[in-house]
Structure 1
């Protein structure tokens, strides 16, 4: 039931649209004092400013990803970058927590076959050593789309996460053998999600995960 709930949560934020959103845009995280967001479905939209003067601190994407996002929206008019990033942050938390807890079923729902197997192998090795993880995601400092690739009818979107994680490893008796209960470690991860364009399934799955 837990896995089903998490799967539905990811479905709701990584693909499903209610029909009340605006037309696709590259939105900013905080629109209150920002200029109108760039409409990437508008062929008359001016190109993004070049050089180091542009303020991109509030965008959900890095400038290098803009061309790929335009191509993705041309191929899938239902894609919404801001909504995707809401789901990407939720997926980051859910997948990490499932891995730490050894929840293989949730990982199977949210990852493709190769990514799932990598997580499952690591869990098997950890359990064989009689160890468990007592980790906690303290906060996600930032999450932004860094690259978008379309190939063979499939879209791949890479997200860079900067987060603080409290990591503790315990033995079978619960004794701490590594990590710290107090200090959080700053992490910098690159995760790539994939989805078949035109598929009736709106879900994105984790395709690759690596430290940047």
Structure 2
């Protein structure tokens, strides 16, 4: 009989211990993953046109609002390629290439210089000694027209021929080129509209 009572007491104690373990281990302590709010994902979409009404945007923000695909790095790569093409085309008198890249008034200035060089019986060819450096100097918008200024630092070797013979000249240039495009146009290309000297 005493053994029976002892077994009953042990069973009761075991039940109490198990209940206490369950009450501790089965309880959720602190914030659980399902209690945490879902993280907010950044909205990379361009704002809807109606969201831009009454809002004045300038610079890169204005360009990105109208052309979400615009990327500074990609633009500078294109501008650098255009710079090399224009410099080489001007030296070689390649008018067809220049027509595709220059605004009419800029082309007229280039045409005057090329015609004068040709009248003197001179020709020229250039080779870049290293990849030109291109830095975005600023972006501005006026209505649907965007203008981007790029500072170029170039180093090239010019080989010229004239009545007096041939000459080789290594040159370093620092120029500020202004490119322009209509943001409402489907044509993604930018046109060179101004060339200014710049500090190296």
Give the TM-score, by structure 1 length.
Answer: 0.62
Q: How many residues align?
A: 145
CA contact (8 A) 1:126 1:132 kept: yes
Report the counterpart of residue 171 of structure 1 in structure 2: 162
- C-alpha distance in 1 between matches for 2:190 and 2:91: 21
Q: Does 1:207 align with 2:197?
A: no
Return the match for 2:90 from 84, 87, 99.
99
Report deviation, 1:168: 3.5
Report the counterpart of residue 51 of structure 2 in structure 1: none
Structure 1 residues without counterparts, runs of 5 or longer? 1-38, 43-66
Note the alpha carbon deviations across 1:33-75, whole angstroms, 9 max, x for none: xxxxxx9x79xxxxxxxxxxxxxxxxxxxxxxxx722232123
CA contact (8 A) 2:63 2:183 kept: no
Q: Quick one: higher RCO (CA 8 Å, sep 6+), 1 or 2?
A: 1
- C-alpha distance in 2 between matches for 1:75 and 1:206: 20
State the structure with more CA Rg: 2
1:140 alignment partner, SS class: coil
Note the alpha carbon deviations across 1:116-157, whole angstroms, 9 max, x for none: 111111110100111111322212342111011101310010
CA contact (8 A) 1:134 1:170 kept: no
Report the counterpart of residue 191 of structure 1 in structure 2: 177
2:130 alignment partner, SS class: strand
2:68 alignment partner, SS class: coil
Q: Which has the higher helix share?
A: 2
Report deviation, 1:201: 1.2
- C-alpha distance in 2 between matches for 1:168 and 1:139: 16
- C-alpha distance in 2 between matches for 1:76 and 1:105: 29
Q: Does 1:155 align with 2:149?
A: no
Give the TM-score, by structure 2 length.
Answer: 0.66
Q: Does 1:135 align with 2:121?
A: no
